[in-house]
Every structure is written in C-alpha cells, then in structure tokens.
Amino acid sequence: MALDRPDRQGLSGQPQLGTGETILLVEDDPTLAESVGFHLEQEHYRVHVAPDGFSALKRFRDVAPQLVLLDLMLPQISGLDLCRQIRAESGVPIIVVTAKDAEADKVLGLELGADDYITKPFSIRELVARVRANLRRTSMADGAGSPLRGGPMVVDPERHEVRMGGELIAMTPKEFAVLHLLVERKGRLLSRTFLMDEVWGSDFRGLPNTLDVHIRRIREKVETDPHNPRHVLTVRGLGYKFEE
C-alpha cells in the first residue's frame, strides 16, 4: 500500500482531511487489512500493512509512521507486547484495534501506552474519525508555545518533551496533553469533563476510567511517590489540578 491519490474524496463525499501522514496498520486478517487500508488511502493517508508482530516492529522502525493501528491478537509477538515495545521507542499515537471487548483488556492496552482503542466489529467512519482526532491533537501539540515550568519539571510543547532535572521523561501523546493542560493551568481545578473534551474530544466513547489510567501513568513518571502525589492532585468527585 502506501499510495497517495490527491484526486480522491473522503468517506463523507467531501475533500479528504488527511495530509499524507503515514499509518502502520498491524492486522493479521488480510481481508480486513485490505479494506481498512483502502479506506484510509481514500482519506489520503499512506498505509503500510504488517501481518504479524515481527514484521510490524521492523516496518515501524523502517517507515517511522505518524500513527499505529494495532490489533491485539497477532501471531509471533502479541499486540500487547508490540505496544509495549513501540512505546519504549516512540511517543507515536497508538490506537488498539481489538476483538477483545472486556474492560480489563482495554485498560491493559492503555496501561501499556496505547492512546485510544476501537473494538471489532467497527464502522470505517468511526475508525477514520479516531485516526483524524489522534493525528490532529498530535499536530496541535507541535509548536504550541514556550516551555512551561511546574514544580521540578519543564514541559516543552514545541519539542513535545517533559524534563525533570534535565532528564527526559518519556510520555505518550495523551499523557503529554493531559500534563500540559494541568501545568498550563497550575493551581486551578480542571474538571474531568474539561480534560476529556480537550484531550480525547467530546465525542469520545471509551472507558469512563481512561483519564484515571493516564493520570496514574503520569504520576508514576513525575512523582517521587505516586501513591502520595505532591503535584498532580485529585480533587475528589470534581477533577484534577497541578500544584507547585
């Protein structure tokens, strides 16, 4: 795949919104992979397909995609192990595509660094909307302002980096977006609804504890004692705030 056809229109019949971003589709069902890849190419995304974990990891390193669509049920390397490996190497958005609809499986994917998930069977329109939303929020973070200081850390939206004492702290795009909002508005209570709308969008249909999972992961990375945080604080029943 990886075709670019600028004369085509999107699923809605309107001009496509993609701008040629590269997507790695990891899917072992060739029929589904062909269908998803075709529709994404219709939206002007460049699609590379990998049918198993080993080839996916190699392709990921070769093409440096802007987003990964990752099936969990894969031969050779499981989708969860692949998610963990990709996240260790990159902050690229990962959307888990899975037939597993148990809440525990979805939470585990988020815990391992996935940014979003969609459950099979899914509509192509919903999948494309998720892809657009994740790519759009990632691009909005680029060049989004000057570095912010909060407690012991520096949050740099232009470089999409978080540093503590000069040490780079790895963050997924969603983790970075949540932390950036909290530091940008430090000392102010940010409601759960506000954070979800800003980071995931008002049309997000995911797990109700998605935000909590990301807050927990942020604390594990920036707090000396994640169980007794000093900076990323919970205001019970209302939301979260960042304190110096």
CA distance 19 to 43: 9
Identify any residues that bridge with 94 across adjacent strands, giving them in sequence order: 68
**pLDDT recorded at residue 199:** 85
**pLDDT recorded at residue 154:** 92
DSSP strand E in the chain: where?
Answer: 22-26, 46-50, 67-71, 94-98, 116-119, 148-150, 153-156, 161-164, 167-169, 190-191, 232-235, 239-242
CA distance 178 to 218: 9
CA distance 169 to 153: 9
CA distance 64 to 41: 17
CB 70 within 8 A of CB 110: no
Q: Please check whether residues 39 and 130 belong to one and the same domain.
A: yes
- The pTM of the full predicted model, rounded to 2 decimals, is 0.66
pLDDT per residue as tens, the chain (244 positions): 443 333 333 444 433 445 679 999 999 999 999 999 999 999 999 999 999 999 999 999 999 999 999 998 888 888 889 998 998 888 889 999 877 666 677 777 788 888 888 888 889 998 998 898 888 777 665 545 688 898 889 998 878 889 998 899 988 888 998 999 999 999 999 999 899 888 887 767 677 788 999 999 999 999 999 999 999 999 998 999 999 8
User: Does residue 2 lie in a domain region?
Assistant: no
Torsions phi, psi of 69, nearest 5?
A: -100, 115
**pLDDT recorded at residue 75:** 85
When divided into structural domains, the chain yields a total of 2
User: Does residue 16 lie in a domain region?
Assistant: no
Task: Choose one of 118, 141, 164: the last residue of a domain.
Answer: 141
Angle between helices 124-141 and 173-184 (to 10 degrees): 50
Residue length, the chain?
Answer: 244
**pLDDT recorded at residue 12:** 40
How many other CB atoms are found less than 10 A from the CB of residue 68? 28
CATH number at residue 128: 3.40.50.2300
User: Does residue 127 lie in a domain region?
Assistant: yes
Q: Please check whether residues 114 and 52 belong to one and the same domain.
A: yes
CA distance 174 to 218: 10
User: Does residue 38 lie in a domain region?
Assistant: yes
